[in-house]
């Protein structure tokens, strides 16, 4: 099972996005777990659960460079969720982008 974890300020709005992404994954019977967390718990969550992809909400995109520098060398792709997709809660497009990141790193 691949883990795609989303991080934002409080994890509230991102929870809705994660739920939509999980719905799409379930509809297509993809072995993917999507969860949302507060960015304050990013380090401890990554250390404890070892996600396969880290997606940052647009409101915390200022943390992108720091997060990428820390986790991409460990083989965890990091990306910022597209603002339009986030605003429209387009779970399918965001999930497709996360899957593309997984494939680029050599996973399925």
In this prediction, residue 108 has a pLDDT band, given cuts at 50, 70 and 90, of very low
DSSP output for the chain: -EEEEEEESSSHHHHHHHHHHHHHHHHTT--EEEEEEEGGGHHHHHHHH--SEEEE-GGGGGGHHHHHHHHGGGT--EEEPPHHHHHTT-HHHHHHHHHHHHHHTT--
Q: What is the pLDDT of residue 90?
A: 97
Residue range 55-105, pLDDT digits in tens: 999 999 999 999 999 999 999 999 999 999 999 999 999 999 999 999 998
Domain 2-104 has CATH 3.40.50.2300: yes
pTM of the full structure: 0.94
Q: Which residues are catalytic?
A: 8
Where exactly are the structural domains of the chain?
A: 2-104
């Amino acid at each position: 099972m691949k883990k795609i974890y989303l991080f934002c300020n409080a994890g509230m709005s991102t929870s809705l996005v994660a739920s939509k992404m999980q719905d799409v994954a379930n509809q297509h019977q993809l072995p993917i777990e999507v969860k949302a967390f507060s960015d304050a718990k990013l380090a401890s969550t990554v250390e404890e659960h070892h996600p396969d992809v880290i997606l940052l909400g647009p409101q915390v995109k200022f943390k992108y460079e720091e997060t990428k520098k820390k986790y991409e060398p460990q083989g965890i792709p990091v990306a910022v969720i597209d603002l339009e997709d986030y605003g429209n809660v387009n779970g399918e497009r965001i999930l497709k982008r996360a899957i593309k990141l997984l494939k680029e790193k050599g996973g399925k």
